[in-house]
Amino acid sequence: MPNIHSFECACQSMAWQVDLGRSGTHVVCYCRDCASHARHLGHGAMLDAHGGAHIWQTLPDAFRLTKGAEHLAAQRLSPRGLLRWYAGCCNTPIANTLPQNRLPFIGILAPAPAPAFGRAAGHVQTAQTHGAVREHGFAAAGAKLMLRGLGALCRGARDNPFFDADGQPIREARILTREERTAAQSLRS
C-alpha cells in the first residue's frame, strides 16, 4: 500500500516524493562522509546529535522528483565515492546513489529524527561517535540492500531517476577538493 511522503528543499524550489510503503530500511549512518556531505552543504543541522544521517535505503522507483529538476546537482567527496545528490539552489541534501547504475539502490536523506521513516533498524559506522552510539544492524541492513537490489534486477527494474538510459548520471558530480573535505570534516553542527 502506498505511503507517499513529500519533501522539499530549504528554499522550496525543489520537491520530491518517496513511497515509504515500498520495501526499505531506515538506517542512521555515522560515517565521516555522510556528515561531511551535509556539513559541506551548510546543512549540518539535519544530522542527529552525534552526527548521524537518517537514510531510507530503498529502490530507485520509490523516489519521484516532482518540482525543480533543473536545480538537481551532485557531488562526490572523492573520485571513487558515492554520488551525493542535492538541491543546487540551496544545497539541501536529497539522496545518495552508487556511482554506477548497476545495482538498484537509493538512500534518501531526511533531517533528524526522520519520524516518517519509522524506527531506525540500524546504527552503522558508529566509530566517529567514540562510543556514544552502539553499532547494530549493519549486516542486516547490508543484506536487505543487496537482496532488494538483486530482486529488482531479476524483475528487470533498472530505471533510476538519477541516471540516463545509458546508465550515466544525469548530472556531472563535482568532486570536493581535499581542502574542502578536510574543512567539512572539522565542522560541527
Distances (CA, A) of 48 to 38, 55, 133, 147, 154: 11, 12, 11, 28, 36
Residue range 134-148, pLDDT digits in tens? 999 999 999 999 999
pLDDT value at 189 more than 60: no
The fraction of the chain above a pLDDT of 70, given in percent, is 99
Residue range 58-96, pLDDT digits in tens? 999 999 999 999 999 999 999 999 999 999 999 999 999
Task: Decide the pairing of beta strands 122-124 and 24-29.
Answer: parallel
Contacts with 122 (C-beta within 8 Å, 6 or more apart), sequence order: 25, 27, 28, 136, 137, 138, 140, 141
pLDDT value at 52 more than 90: yes
pLDDT at 2: 78
Q: How many CB atoms sit inside 10 A of residue 172's CB?
A: 9
Which pairs with CB-CB distance under 8 Å and at least 24 residues apart come from 85-88? 85/162, 85/171, 86/41, 87/9, 87/10, 87/11, 87/13, 87/14
pLDDT at 176: 96
Please, what is the average pLDDT of the chain?
95
pLDDT value at 178 more than 70: yes
116 pLDDT tier (thresholds 50, 70, 90): very high
pLDDT value at 149 more than 90: yes
| Three-class SS state of 46 | helix
